[in-house]
Structure 1
């Protein structure tokens, strides 16, 4: 399941994948990020605090969201990674492209 929350800033969306982000929900994540960007919320934070597992399809959806947000003049950041998700990011060297933040608040500030 994918949740979308908006913050007080009109250009920000926080997306929360719950459980496992696999090929089953990768399209859902793409759809949620696409909708947020189309609505003008080009600063996206993917809160992975409740995502215990991510496969290559899930990772691809996050990277696709990053590309979409940047093309719209914004950015996509990831926050609160679980150990397995961090391992996937490190093994693929994508932690250099998607810098993980400790919390959604840190991701929004860019700390």
Structure 2
């Protein structure tokens, strides 16, 4: 897993790549929560280059969503590939998260 971020004031774009699973979830959780601790109120998580995502990672994303929602913030996901999008549809999380098919459509500006 590799994770990078770009901060635009209260908005942060986090780009993840590789496999997001039980082994990488703690690192991802810590990374995302540090960004929230630094004051981000809108978080865009770009999953375009993620090859695999498991339920542990879904739990990380849900925890970040809950934390931001408590303060009126929002998490958007960028998922251009049907194979990952299907996971969110099956679990009903497509109704929890705003999902975009490209970074251009996300709230980064």
Quote the residue 1:21 is aligned against.
20
Q: Give the SS at the match of 2:97.
A: coil
CA contact (8 A) 2:65 2:75 kept: yes
Separation in structure 2 between the aligned mates of residue 28 and residue 84 of structure 1, nearest angstrom: 24
Q: Aligned residue pairs: how many?
A: 108
Cα pair distance change 1:56/1:81, threshold 3 Å: farther
**Relative to structure 2, which stretch is displaced further, 74-83 or 47-56?**
74-83
Q: Are the aligned partners of 2:2 and 2:18 in contact in 1 as well (CA < 8 Å)?
A: no
Question: Is the partner of 2:48 in helix, strand or coil?
Answer: coil
Correspondence for 1:5: 5
Alpha-carbon shift at residue 32 of structure 1 (Å): 1.3
Q: Which residue of the partner structure matches residue 53 of structure 1?
A: 52
Q: Which has the higher strand share?
A: 2
What is the TM-score normalised by the length of structure 1?
A: 0.86
Distance in 2 (alpha carbons) for counterparts of 1:17 and 1:99:
17
Q: Within the alignment, does 1:87 sit opposite 2:86 as a pair?
A: yes
User: What is the CA–CA distance in structure 2 between the aligned matches of 1:64 and 1:84, rounded to whole Å?
Assistant: 23
**For 1:16, what is the secondary structure of its paired residue?**
strand
What's the Cα RMSD here?
Answer: 1.6
- In the TM superposition, residue 47 of structure 1 has moved relative to its aligned partner by 0.1
Q: Normalising by structure 2, what TM-score? A: 0.88
Unpaired segments ≥5 residues, structure 2: none
